[in-house]
Amino acid sequence: MKFPTLQASPPPPIDTPWADGTEGVTQCPILPGDTFRYKFVVDRAGTYLYHAHYGMQREAGLYGSIRVALPDGQAELFAYDYDRSIILNDWYHRSTYEQATRLSSIPFLWVGDPQSLLIQGKGRFDCRTPGIEANRCNDTNPECSRYVFTVVPGKTYRLRIGSLTALAALSFEIEGHNMTVVEADGHYVEPFVVNNLFIYSGETYSVLVTADQDPTRNYWVVSKMVGRDNKTPNGLGTFNYYPNHPSRSPPTDPPSGPRWNDVGPRVNQSLAIRSHPNYIHPVPQTSDRVIILLNTQNQINESVKWAINNISFTLPHTPYLISLKHNLLHTFDQTPPPDVINGYEDYNITNPPPYLSFTTSNSLYRLKFNTTVDIILQNANMKDPGYSETHPWHLHGHDFWVVGYGNGKFNVSEDPKNYNLVNPIMKNTVPVHPYGWTALRFVANNPGVWAFHCHIESHFYMGMGVVFEEGIEKVKKLPSSIMGCGDTKRFIKP
Amino acid sequence: MKFPTLQASPPPPIDTPWADGTEGVTQCPILPGDTFRYKFVVDRAGTYLYHAHYGMQREAGLYGSIRVALPDGQAELFAYDYDRSIILNDWYHRSTYEQATRLSSIPFLWVGDPQSLLIQGKGRFDCRTPGIEANRCNDTNPECSRYVFTVVPGKTYRLRIGSLTALAALSFEIEGHNMTVVEADGHYVEPFVVNNLFIYSGETYSVLVTADQDPTRNYWVVSKMVGRDNKTPNGLGTFNYYPNHPSRSPPTDPPSGPRWNDVGPRVNQSLAIRSHPNYIHPVPQTSDRVIILLNTQNQINESVKWAINNISFTLPHTPYLISLKHNLLHTFDQTPPPDVINGYEDYNITNPPPYLSFTTSNSLYRLKFNTTVDIILQNANMKDPGYSETHPWHLHGHDFWVVGYGNGKFNVSEDPKNYNLVNPIMKNTVPVHPYGWTALRFVANNPGVWAFHCHIESHFYMGMGVVFEEGIEKVKKLPSSIMGCGDTKRFIKP
């Protein structure tokens, strides 16, 4: 079977930067009872996610997936019989309000590990959790039923998987079945086969899975938290071969999954992903600006924050998009954050940060329109010795090319020589691995203001993010629907 | 000692109806991080309360008391040595968000009784409460220390007491000490002596208490929940005679307080309050309109609501004050609620409501400016046989005269003949007792839009309220600071 080459140049700017949904960046919050209409051009087929972007509200459950079909007459680059979507998540018993309160408390209180991992909204938890009524744990409770993925023997399924975890990096697998990865974040990738898929919060993947095993039994579907030592029970679902009963448990023990602290396979998956040869967005061969974003975890007095280049990010009360378009420059800090910290050459990423203090700021990076920008995500040791975490970074308003990963500290003069400038994938969310770096390239061609942040809910809440502005002068008249908060009240003229 | 007669005519309209703080009625919500400045004329000395008026946020702790001093040169109508303020409250372990979610759930979930009663923010709870870490219960936890009211033997204290309970009607007493009630809701009352003071959410009282007992020991201060069968432990504080150590427990058992279901003494206290003879606001001898507000508790499917005249109140998303001033009449229901329900004559208040269904509506009462209005709060049986609760009703923008209380059903032709039109007190919050009625009179002379609602947080959330409009055409230009939500976005012209 021969597949077509798909048109693969980056889409033009979409001209509606106010439809991004990021409170404080592109719009005021949507108040209880109010209605906000997002109107935007859907410019590429693929698998996407939507979710609340206000405080920690996403993890209260305001999220879902979006499946964009190919235009009529176009065919996919791969064949399958059925198309299914699932969302993987984690789940806390404490409300997101209480979690936010803990993170803002002095002394700081961490939110801890989630109580459950959810597969398409279904999960289970350790019944010995303190404070839990026993009846919430009962197997007869329909809320505790497992996710069931029913398959017809011999058929091939496209399974679109999105992760919207608050915290957990996940390994996902279907017992006894390989998966062929064919799509990532809405882009076709060169197909590659995995036994288990690592997926980080904010990412989507399509995998093909064929029901080619013994059809007289069912199999386990497992999601497992990796990257942190944790007691969270694995998420369990059933891969149900029709016509077996969906509630029939598989005869085997569920696969235990990879070890939580085995970084190698996760890095290998990142390195394995390439653009599909029939679907390549040519990457600019040079860049105009390099920004090195060093993450550190900082503690001052009894408060703990994340910082990028020693600045812990806070959102302004007047959204940047409005402030910049209407020159309300008093509404946020005008000192730009640094492209690289002073003393980066001497910074030892394997030690806890030498400085405990940090600055909180709502300043942003202003990018020259249509220039090419390289972002280096530089991971480092956390505040306690011996720990460095995976962070999935998500960029709004753009896809970026992932031009390189590396272990240790980024070498400004040497590492760019090894960038993949031939067939790098495009994504909108990418992990930076423990003690490693990830290099991204994008063209600042979408007029607007765009958040770029760790997609772990509590990390962004603790300041792990930055914001880019580009081409604000090209942004058209802003709709009044995005206004109403902060200094935008000056525009209210009844 | 002779006291002066104080000027006692009702103050003129205060001309700032947007400074009332009622979300959905007089303003849009104040967003996180935003600042809102309330500016208004303080027009009468006395003891007042302030609190959040958004969702159930008050009970999350956003409240306090306001003490307005007499103008220079004026003296109080009573003598005391020291002036002290306390707030009584109840406290739930569940967050107010979770409580609101329960009340909106299908099936309906009641919030239950509070875990604690607080005296000036301090309280205790039953350590056997499920889900509570034992260390939160430890007596060495400074959060569990008792409120201490230190007094000098022989001195007289003015104690200003406010209640902002979410649910509880309270009895408050100081072991072995009588209290002389001298002020209610900012108005002087004819002094009367009580052993225990009944106080409902939204009310304030000043009592005089003299430290005239055996000074070699301390005494208990007790708040007790009445009006509902409950397991909430009494709130306990220490009435500490200087120089005894404040942490010394009294040698006696704390007074157990009145029985929770003994309505008689509570009604008697209501009947005992009269205006101070030197401080009388003459009450209009006739009224122009009578509105009978019958409360019923209604259940439809698995949802439970409170209704007034069979309408369960909901707040609009565009504040009335703005909608009415700017003629945005599509933003709320234009059908006015009835002054009395059809079939009121035949309604049996001792039975559960014969109708299960109810209407939810955000319609309001429009009052003719400067007319005198009588409001009859008519209590009735709840949805289950044999229950009728006390409801403390609070009126915004006005004080009202409390012209009568009665047991059973209000008789439109007979009961008004027994109104107290000589020396009724003025208040802004008043209870309607179980199976009884309370009659109020006020002059609709404050241009604006004013909520009138049960001050029990969950009852208002469940629909127990109404809204009055008067003299909207006299309201001056609205400040843009109250806008930004709902249909007020039409006024945003950047």
- What pLDDT is stored for residue A13 in this prediction? 54
H or E stretch including A265?
Answer: helix A263-272
Which pLDDT tens digit goes with each residue over B193-232?
999 999 999 999 999 999 999 999 999 999 999 999 999 9
Q: How does DSSP classify residue B382?
A: -
- What pLDDT is stored for residue B12 in this prediction? 52
Chain B from 52 to 71: CB within 8 A of any A CB: 55
Name B215's Cβ contacts closer than 8 Å, sequence gap at least 6: B153, B241, B244
CB contact under 8 A, B481 and A489: yes
Confidence of residue A329 (pLDDT cuts 50, 70, 90): very high
Contact A217, A244 (CB under 8 A): yes
Using DSSP's 3-state secondary structure scheme, residue B306 falls into strand
Query: What is the rounded distance in angstroms from the CA atom of residue B28 to the CA atom of residue A388?
Result: 44
CB contact under 8 A, B484 and A489: yes
Query: By the CB < 8 Å criterion, does A85 face chain B?
Result: no
- What pLDDT is stored for residue B350 in this prediction? 97
- What pLDDT is stored for residue B125 in this prediction? 79
Query: By the CB < 8 Å criterion, does B480 face chain A?
Result: yes
Residue A163 has pLDDT above 80, yes or no: yes
Contact A297, A466 (CB under 8 A): no
Which pLDDT tens digit goes with each residue over A219-233?
999 999 999 999 999
Residue A209 has pLDDT above 90, yes or no: yes
| Mean pLDDT, chain A, integer | 93
Query: By the CB < 8 Å criterion, does A102 face chain B?
Result: no
Residues of chain B in contact with residue A317, where contact means CB-CB under 8 angstroms, are: 31-34
Peptide bond between residue B107 and the one before it cis (omega within 30 degrees of 0): yes
CB contact under 8 A, A130 and B130: no
What is the identity of the amino acid at A274?
R
What chain A holds in terms of domains, given with CATH numbers, is 78-272 (2.60.40.420), 289-491 (2.60.40.420)
Residues of chain A in contact with residue B131, where contact means CB-CB under 8 angstroms, are: 130-132
User: Burial of B459 by CB count in 10 Å (0-12 exposed, 13-18 middle, 19+ buried)?
Assistant: buried
Residue showing tokens 């048109």? A7
Query: By the CB < 8 Å criterion, does B103 face chain A?
Result: no
Alpha helices in B292-343 (DSSP H): 320-325
User: What residue of B is the nearest CA neighbor of A128?
Assistant: B131
Distances (CA, A) of A21 to A162, A392, A396, B21, B161: 19, 19, 10, 29, 46
- Closest Cβ–Cβ partner in A31, A485, A494 for B491: A494
Residues of chain A in contact with residue B128, where contact means CB-CB under 8 angstroms, are: none
CB contact under 8 A, B494 and A131: no
Average pLDDT estimate for A163-179: 98
CB contact under 8 A, B317 and A486: no
Residue A186 has pLDDT above 80, yes or no: yes
Of the residues B322, B360, B482, B485, the best mutation for testing chain A's interface (the one with the most A CB atoms within 10 Å of its CB) is B485
- What pLDDT is stored for residue A30 in this prediction? 96
Query: By the CB < 8 Å criterion, does B303 face chain A?
Result: no
User: What residue of A is the nearest CA neighbor of B492?
Assistant: A492
- What pLDDT is stored for residue A358 in this prediction? 82
Structure tokens at A32: 């209880």
Query: By the CB < 8 Å criterion, does A93 face chain B?
Result: no
User: What residue of A is the nearest CA neighbor of B317?
Assistant: A33
CB contact under 8 A, B489 and A489: no
Residues of chain B in contact with residue A55, where contact means CB-CB under 8 angstroms, are: 32
Comparing A19-23, A352-356, A387-391, the range with the smallest average pLDDT is A352-356
- Closest Cβ–Cβ partner in A31, A132, A492 for B492: A492
Query: What is B226-245 written as a DSSP string?
Result: ESS---PPPEEEEEEETTS-
Provide the shortest C-alpha distance from residue B253 to chain A (in Å).
Answer: 32
Query: What is the rounded distance in angstroms from the CA atom of residue B494 to the CA atom of residue B486?
Result: 17
Query: What is the rounded distance in angstroms from the CA atom of residue B74 to the CA atom of residue A365?
Result: 61
Residue A172 has pLDDT above 50, yes or no: yes
CB contact under 8 A, A493 and B490: no
Structure tokens at B299: 């259940």
Distances (CA, A) of B97 to A95, B56, B60, B84, B163: 9, 7, 9, 33, 22
Query: What is B233-297 written as a DSSP string?
Result: PPEEEEEEETTS-TTPPPSSPPP--S-TT-HHHHHHHHHH--B-TTS--PPPSS-SEEEEEEEEE
* Beta-carbon pairs below 8 A across chains A and B: 93
- Ramachandran category for residue B484: left, alpha or beta (phi over 0 → left; psi -120 to 50 → alpha): left
Which pLDDT tens digit goes with each residue over A437-472?
999 999 999 999 999 999 999 999 999 999 999 999
Query: What is the rounded distance in angstroms from the CA atom of residue B464 to the CA atom of residue A485?
Result: 30
- What pLDDT is stored for residue B139 in this prediction? 55
Structure tokens at A140: 């007869």
CB atoms within 10 A of CB A272: 13
Residues of chain A in contact with residue B477, where contact means CB-CB under 8 angstroms, are: 494
- What pLDDT is stored for residue B130 in this prediction? 61
Confidence of residue A133 (pLDDT cuts 50, 70, 90): low
CB contact under 8 A, A492 and B490: no
Q: The complex's ipTM?
A: 0.86
Residues of chain B in contact with residue A494, where contact means CB-CB under 8 angstroms, are: 322, 326, 477-478, 480, 483, 488, 491
Query: By the CB < 8 Å criterion, does B100 face chain A?
Result: no
- What pLDDT is stored for residue B300 in this prediction? 81
- State percent of chain A over pLDDT 70: 94
Chain Cα centroid distance, residue A155: 31
Low-confidence ranges of chain B (pLDDT < 70): 1-14, 128-143
Structure tokens at B12: 């003129």
Rg (CA), chain A: 23
Query: By the CB < 8 Å criterion, does B489 face chain A?
Result: yes
CB contact under 8 A, B492 and A480: yes
Of the residues A485, A487, A491, the best mutation for testing chain B's interface (the one with the most B CB atoms within 10 Å of its CB) is A485
Residues of chain B in contact with residue A488, where contact means CB-CB under 8 angstroms, are: 484, 492, 494
Residues of chain A in contact with residue B130, where contact means CB-CB under 8 angstroms, are: 131, 133
CB contact under 8 A, A493 and B493: yes
- What pLDDT is stored for residue A3 in this prediction? 47
Cα separation of the two ends of chain B: 64
Query: By the CB < 8 Å criterion, does A265 face chain B?
Result: no
Q: Report which of B293, B306, B294 is spatially closest to residue B358, judged by C-alpha positions.
A: B306
- What pLDDT is stored for residue B5 in this prediction? 52
- What pLDDT is stored for residue B1 in this prediction? 39
Peptide bond between residue A243 and the one before it cis (omega within 30 degrees of 0): yes
Cα separation of the two ends of chain A: 64
Residues of chain B in contact with residue A492, where contact means CB-CB under 8 angstroms, are: 480, 483-484, 488, 491-493
Query: By the CB < 8 Å criterion, does B31 face chain A?
Result: yes
Residues of chain A in contact with residue B326, where contact means CB-CB under 8 angstroms, are: 494
Structure tokens at A131: 């404070």
CB contact under 8 A, B33 and A486: yes
- HSE-CB of B287 using CA atoms within 13 angstroms: 23
- What pLDDT is stored for residue A107 in this prediction? 94
